[in-house]
Amino acid sequence: MSLLTPRQQREREFFDEFWSRCEELPVVNFDLISGKERRPWNPYWHVVESVKKQYEDGARTLLDFGCGGGTYAAIFASLGFRVSAFDISPRSIETARKVAAVYGFSEDIEFSVQRTEDLRYADNTFDVVVGIDVLHHVEIAPSVAESIRVLKPGGIAFFREWIEVPALDYLRNTAPVRFFFPIKKNLNPWAHITEDERKLTDRDLAVIRRLCSATTERRFYVFARLDRLLRNPQNRSASFMEKADYFLCRKIPSLNKLGGSVVLELSKCQ
């Protein structure tokens, strides 16, 4: 691996420190694939359900694109995928390996330390690529280009991301709001924020569409943005605000443009 950029180095150091501080391994939430419940209003559940459908349609190889502590890699392995997972942080990979071992997936997941902008996988390797909350930590154009390169023709990449909503984020960044709710480096397990992360913008979306014309998006978190202030982050029950968003946005489609979270689906041409 060549030298890291300053941003990559800071991201690696942050997540090395983050996982070194965690006294317990992250818990894998298999409720997302149990079939006992569906939450189409939640972007994470939506991604996992979409990936599950890809497996049912014959996909077998999956890349966890910036795997963090490895919880989603374990979920995808439990679906039956042969999973490759990478992260820029060696400590993240160490944690992810431990999670895989605890849940019995050590033989089903191949872990490595890599950068999103310069992957070591061969062209046309994976049926599915999944990135959960990773693009806002990296350089968009080279990272998305790499995700498309390693996809097989006909493969699909899913990315769940935070996205900038001009009116609401302008308000969020005003001095009074930032005084009470500052945006700065934070190692809190439920709200970790790195120095360089930034929400995706309309310009980023345009870049992604230029790289992959077959890109669709679905927005989430209009009023549910308030959950981050009002709801206990350890509460795993369905969010009333997310449900409200889901039904209101179906009734009033123009509300979707106010969603602060997006799921991108990139399809590689045959």
Closest CA to 218 of 53, 72, 44, 43: 43
Q: Where are the beta strands (DSSP E) in 47-150?
A: 61-65, 82-87, 109-113, 126-132
Closest CA to 140 of 47, 13, 264, 18: 264
| pTM, 2 dp | 0.93
Q: Is residue 179 part of a domain?
A: yes
1 located within any domain: no
pLDDT of the chain, 270 residues: tens digit per residue: 578 999 999 999 999 999 999 989 999 999 999 988 999 999 999 999 999 999 999 999 999 999 999 999 999 999 999 999 999 999 999 999 999 999 999 999 999 999 999 999 999 999 999 999 999 999 999 999 999 999 999 999 999 999 988 766 655 666 665 555 566 777 777 677 888 899 999 999 999 999 999 999 999 999 898 887 788 877 888 999 999 999 999 999 999 988 999 999 999 987
Closest CA to 100 of 113, 88, 115, 83: 83
CATH number at residue 79: 3.40.50.150
Specify the number of domains making up the chain. Answer: 1
Residue 207 belongs to domain spanning:
6-267
125 domain-assigned: yes
